[in-house]
A and B are shown apart, each in its own frame.
Chain A
């Protein structure tokens, strides 16, 4: 089954404790992205990657890191999480960079930073 997977689905942590949210897709897609969803703000892009070893900032990159060492994986790293990073996070992938390409989303990771 074609899908985007994320782990963990739920995470409660404390300020300053480094964490990684994994993302993997099995559709051989070139593009992958991370979004965060906050009430009243919709979804906003954090980082994206156009291919292996090619990443760039989205609209809200501060406090986040990413890497793309393999085509299928795109982990999101919070090196020193803060309470304002409490949010619902989505990984997404799409086959290319055309405006017509559909983005497919993972199930989401609900992160709480105390």
Chain B
């Protein structure tokens, strides 16, 4: 069955430091996609970055990068040079062939950036 696990309920980081948010996944499919979303206190879900199971290079989008370790089934989000505006909930999500019509979400990590 598809499953996403985020083991860090909350993280506190100093401004300008890099931060890694953990995500592990479980699927029996060889073809799948991994996604990260940001949810600020205003509530909307903002797409950040995507990694495909067949992508050989780690995805990057500006200050966001995805540390994809396929053998370990992990897809950690790395935020470089954190900013106060990065304080939010972060969700890891996955779609595979069995459930291509939906995203399966983890429970999220609440990130707080301290000045």
Interface of A toward B, CB cutoff 8 Å: 31, 33, 40-45, 48, 50, 56, 58-59, 88, 90, 92, 97-108, 110
Which residues from B are CB-within-8-Å of A107?
43-44
Which residues from B are CB-within-8-Å of A90?
45
B53 nearest in chain A by CB position:
A99
Given known pairs A42-B91, A43-B91, the reply for A103 and B103 (CB within 8 Å) is yes
A44 nearest in chain B by CB position:
B105
Give complex CA distance A103, B105 in Å.
Answer: 12
Q: Among B10-18, B65-73, B77-85, B93-101, which stretch is in contact with chain A? A: B93-101
Partner of B101, one of A42, A48, A100, A110: A48
Given contacts A43-B105, A92-B45, 6 further A-B contacts (CB under 8 A): A48-B101, A99-B32, A99-B52, A102-B47, A107-B44, A108-B43
Give complex CA distance A97, B106 in Å.
Answer: 21
Partner of B35, one of A50, A56, A102: A102
CB distance from B102 to the nearest CB of A (A): 4
Given known pairs A42-B108, A48-B101, A110-B43, the reply for A99 and B91 (CB within 8 Å) is no
Q: List 28 A-B contacts (CB under 8 A).
A: A41-B107, A42-B91, A42-B106, A43-B45, A43-B103, A44-B105, A45-B101, A48-B101, A88-B43, A99-B29, A99-B31, A99-B32, A99-B53, A99-B95, A99-B96, A99-B100, A100-B33, A100-B52, A101-B33, A102-B47, A103-B47, A104-B47, A105-B37, A105-B46, A106-B44, A107-B43, A107-B44, A108-B45
Which residues from A are CB-within-8-Å of B31?
99
Q: How large is the interface on B (under 10, 10 to 19, 20 to 34, 35 or more residues)?
A: 20 to 34
Closest 9 pairs between A and B when the two form their complex, measured CB to CB: A105-B45, A42-B105, A45-B102, A99-B33, A43-B105, A108-B43, A107-B44, A99-B95, A97-B100
